Amino acid sequence: MPKRHVSPILKELRQRRPFPSTGQEAVVALFRTADVVRRSITAAIAPVGLTLQQYNVLRILRGAGAAGLPTLDVADRMIEHTPGITRMMDRLEARGWVTRERCPTDRREVHCRISAAGLALLERLDGTIDETDRRAMGSLDDATLRRLIGLLDQVRAAHTPATVTVPGTTRRARRGPSNTQRTGAR
């Protein structure tokens, strides 16, 4: 009797029964892989007292440059959605890594910028994060990485706000440009 192929994710999870579909196996493998990579990056930034979401915010603000960004625009750009962006900004500001100021023309808007201390912290972490990224993706050559990025882009595109309905509701999930960016209003 020929031996049945057991996928690496089944072995890793010590699961005896095959997945009901290839799609479900792919989703489980994606989640497991994301968790493995997330844990390695979390371990790299933990010594400086940052969470992964705080690190993401600092990188977003560094990328925004001296102009900074409104708080809700930062939230829209985050890798993982977080409902507590204001509290997170409070903590980052208390540690001296970001500065905030109210918009003079719209008091509801708070503009966030990375501070010199925040920039210095990211510069300290850059080499460590680069090495962590290399370890995470080092088993794949550039062509394979490009294919992986393309496949992940396709999966995300299938879950854009225009196509995703929140289960159990009649509303659509909101990810992407803020209301201001969509309407052009200020």
pLDDT along the chain (186 residues), means of 10: 69 86 91 94 95 96 94 93 90 97 83 97 96 94 96 90 58 45 36
Q: Count of domains in the chain? A: 2
pLDDT of residue 186: 33
Has residue 3 been placed in a domain? Answer: no
Furthest CA-CA distance within the chain: 76
Spatial separation of the C-alpha atoms in residues 25 and 15, rounded to whole Å: 11
Residues 159 and 72 in one domain: no
The answer to whether residues 79 and 100 belong to one domain is yes
Q: Within this chain, do residues 119 and 146 fall inside the same structural domain, yes or no?
A: no
Show the domain range for 179. 141-186
| 121 in the same domain as 37 | yes
The pTM score is: 0.79
Query: Which pLDDT score, from 0 to 100, does residue 178 have?
Result: 41
**Which string of DSSP letters, residue by residue, matches 129-162?**
HHHHHHHHHTTS-HHHHHHHHHHHHHHHHTTSTT
Whether the CB-CB separation of 56 and 78 falls below 8 Å is answered with: yes
Q: What is the CATH number of the domain that holds 61?
A: 1.10.10.10
Same domain? 128 vs 186: no
